[in-house]
Amino acid sequence: AQTVTQSQPEMSVQEAETVTLSCTYDTSESDYYLFWYKQPPSRQMILVIRQEAYKQQNATENRFSVNFQKAAKSFSLKISDSQLGDAAMYFCAYGRRSQGNLIFGKGTKLSVKP
C-alpha cells in the first residue's frame, strides 16, 4: 500500500527567508502524481503545486518549487521569500494514475515570523 510521510510536524521560518518542507512516499508504481496542499487557519484546502512522476523537471509556481527525487521517493517543497500569508498546514499527497483518490501525509505546520 502507498504511504506518505512528512517527518516535520512543525517548521518555522523568518519572513522573506526560504524554507523547505520534506515529504517521502512509498509506492511500487512508476506512474503517479504528487501534490502539495496548503490548509490555512480557515481550514480550506488549497492546491499549491502538482508534479507528474514521469516528468523529470521539477514543478514551480511563483515562490513555490519542488525537489522531486523519484529514485529516492522524495518530494520536498521549497518556499522562497516567505510571507506571513504562507503560515499554514502543508500536506503532501500522492495519487495514482489508475485511481482518483489521494493519500495524504499528516502535515507540517509552518509558522512565519515577522
Partner 1 sequence: SQTIHQWPATLVQPVGSPLSLECTVEGTSNPNLYWYRQAAGRGLQLLFYSVGIGQISSEVPQNLSASRPQDRQFILSSKKLLLSDSGFYLCAWSKKGTGGDIQYFGAGTRLSVL
Q: Give me 88's grid cell.
A: 499554514
- The window from 11-19, 45-53, 67-75, 78-86 that contacts partner 1 (CB under 8 A) reads 45-53
The residue range among 18-26, 66-74, 80-88, 94-102 that interacts with partner 1, by the rule CB under 8 A, is: 94-102
Query: Does residue 31 contact residue 53 with C-beta atoms inside 8 Å?
Result: yes
Closest residue by Cα to residue 5 from 21, 29, 20: 21
Rounded to whole angstroms, how far apart are CA atoms 22 and 13?
14
Query: Binding-site residue total for partner 1 (CB under 8 A)?
Result: 28
Cell of 83: 510571507
Q: For the CB of residue 20, give the shortest distance to partner 1 in the complex, in Å.
A: 19
**Which residue has cell 502524481?**
33
Q: Which of 1, 57, 101, 114 binds partner 1 (CB under 8 A)?
A: 101
Site residues (vs partner 1, CB under 8 A): 4, 6, 32-33, 35, 37, 42-47, 50, 52, 91, 95-107
